[in-house]
Amino acid sequence: MTAVTAPAPTLFNVAPENWKLAILVGLVVAVAAVSTLPAAVSFWIVGAMVAMVALSFVVNAFRRKYYGGLLVAPAIAVLFVMNIFPLLWSLGLSFFAYQSNQQSIRFVGLYNYQKVLTNELAAEANWHALTNTAMFVVFTVAAQMITGFLLAMLFAKQFPLRKYLLIMVLTPMMLSVVAAGVFFSYYYDPTFGILSHVIGGITGEQFILMDNKVGAVAGIVFADAWMWSPFVMLLVLAGLVSVPKYLYEAAAIDRVSMWRRFWTITFPYIRGLLMLALLFRTIEAFKLADLVYILTRGGNDTLTISYHLIRIANEQNKTSEGAAISYLMLFMVIVLTNLYLYLANRRNQGA
């Protein structure tokens, strides 16, 4: 894009923009500090070295009018410190035997991965949690997409009081999961709950929703779909609103059937947004844990992989084993996400 205006500095040319030299000096000082000084002090020295390298990058980018790098730098810095560094750390941990309540740590290579994939007890529990998760992903995402889509169709037209009815539908999304989950457990309660009161009034028997797998799954899926359908609705609605009205007017003059009008006019406008909603909701559905925790505590065979992971990593303190599971999970999500993005791009180019 931008022309390089200054020659790249060579390694031993002392200049503020010479990031290669900065990295070299930073590495030497950091290694020296870590090996001789106590952890709390050396941490800050390493931090200062990282800041120095970052500064040299910035000066370099500025001197060479490399604005892209300059603009992106703060975001990358924050993401690196708070996300990518911890992610790399936990990736590293997955190759060690480490428990967060113990001091000892030892390198075991791929043992953790081997254990979570093939060990009789661990692997079976993991596979089971994974199939449960897959089931939840399919059901919750499908329920959210369908409900959200229908709601969006309902709200796409301009009608009286629309603004006020729309905010009513958006409210579930704003509840905190803790409160929503706890209140759904109240609605489902066999003795005090509204649901059992209504159904029990009709059938004459006490209605217990959460005492078998089907009921428990239905209960969780319903609560999750209720909370997050508005998100899908908002994205789809945005697409529907953006369809130019003259297209519909032309279709009305040509007496195009409703079905055809939807597929040829409306659908192309919302396809990208449907994909985006699908992408974000699938990623989130894989992480479903808090609702399961509040509604069933994993009982009735509703344990998801994320909740299983919290148990392993936080309650049983098997940090490195948890890290191994989560990286296998990340791999699956990445494959799925790329599949989505690939399909979305292919459709876009084909259209």
Partner 1 sequence: MAENISILERLGFRKASGVGEAGWGHTLFAAVVAFIYFLPVLFIIFMAIKPQTLALSVPPTISPTTLFGLIPDEYVFSPTFENFGSVFSRVMTPGGAPENTGFDLYFFNSILIASVSVLLALVIGTLAAFGFSRYPLKGNDTYLFIILTTRMLPAIVVIIPVILMFRVVHLSGSYLGIILLYTAFNLAFTIWMMKSFFDELSLDVEDAARIDGSSGFRVFFKICLPQVIAGLAATFVFGLILTWNEFLFALLLSGPDTRTVPVAMNQAVSSGGRGTDWTLLAAIETLFLIPVFLVTFFLQNHLLRGVTFGTVKR
Residue showing tokens 């697409």 = 239
Q: Which of 312, 342, 274, 309 is closest to 133 using CA atoms?
A: 309
CA separation for the pair 317, 314 (Å, rounded): 5
Which residue of 194, 335, 339, 343 would you call a contact of partner 1, by CB under 8 A? 194
Angle at 350 between CA 344 and CA 351, to 5 degrees: 90
Helix locations, 64-119, DSSP H: 67-79, 85-93, 111-118
Is residue 334 involved in binding partner 1 (CB under 8 A)? yes
By the rule CB under 8 A, 202 interacts with partner 1: no
**Residue (4 or 161) nearer to partner 1, CB:** 161
Q: How far is the CB of 104 from partner 1 (least distance, A)?
A: 15
> C-beta of 307: minimal distance to partner 1 in Å?
9
Q: Is 112 in the site for partner 1 (CB under 8 A)?
A: no
Report how far apart, in Å, the C-alpha atoms of 141 and of each of 82, 226, 301 are: 29, 11, 20
Whether 286 and 329 have beta carbons less than 8 Å apart is answered as: yes
Cβ proximity to partner 1: between 53 and 223 the closer is 223
d(CA 292, CA 326): 18
Q: Which of residues 42-81 bind partner 1 (CB under 8 A)?
A: 43-44, 66-72, 74-76, 78-79, 81
Q: Is 8 in the site for partner 1 (CB under 8 A)?
A: no
State the nearest-atom distance from the C-beta of 332 to partner 1, in Å.
Answer: 10
Give least dist CB 12 to partner 1, A. 26
- Determine, following the binding rule CB under 8 A, whether residue 32 of this chain makes contact with partner 1: no
**Main-chain phi, psi angles of 110, to 5 degrees:** -90, 15
Does the footprint of partner 1 cover residue 175 (CB under 8 A)? yes
Which residues from 271-290 bind partner 1, rule CB under 8 A?
Answer: 272-273, 276, 283, 286-287, 289-290
Selected range binding partner 1 among 17-25, 26-34, 111-119, 184-192, rule: CB under 8 A: 184-192
Confirm or reject binding of residue 238 to partner 1 (CB under 8 A).
yes
37 binds partner 1 (CB under 8 A): no
104 is written with which tokens?
Answer: 């000892």
Among the listed residues 297, 73, 75, 87, the one whose alpha carbon sits nearest the alpha carbon of residue 181: 297
Tell me which of 21, 30, 143, 151 binds partner 1, using CB under 8 A.
Answer: 151
Query: Is 137 a residue that touches partner 1 (CB under 8 A)?
Result: no
Tokens 């392993």: give the residue.
312
> With CB under 8 A as the contact rule, which of the stretches 9-17, 49-57, 120-128, 247-255 interacts with partner 1?
247-255
Using CB under 8 A as the binding rule, whether residue 39 contacts partner 1 is answered as yes
Residue 258 touching partner 1 (CB under 8 A):
no
Minimum distance between the CB of residue 83 and partner 1, rounded to whole angstroms? 4
Burial 235-254 (b: 16+ CB within 10 A, else e): bbbebbeebeeeeeeebeee
- Per CB under 8 A, 199 contacts partner 1: no
E strand or H helix at 110? none
Q: Cα–chain-centroid distance for residue 258?
A: 36
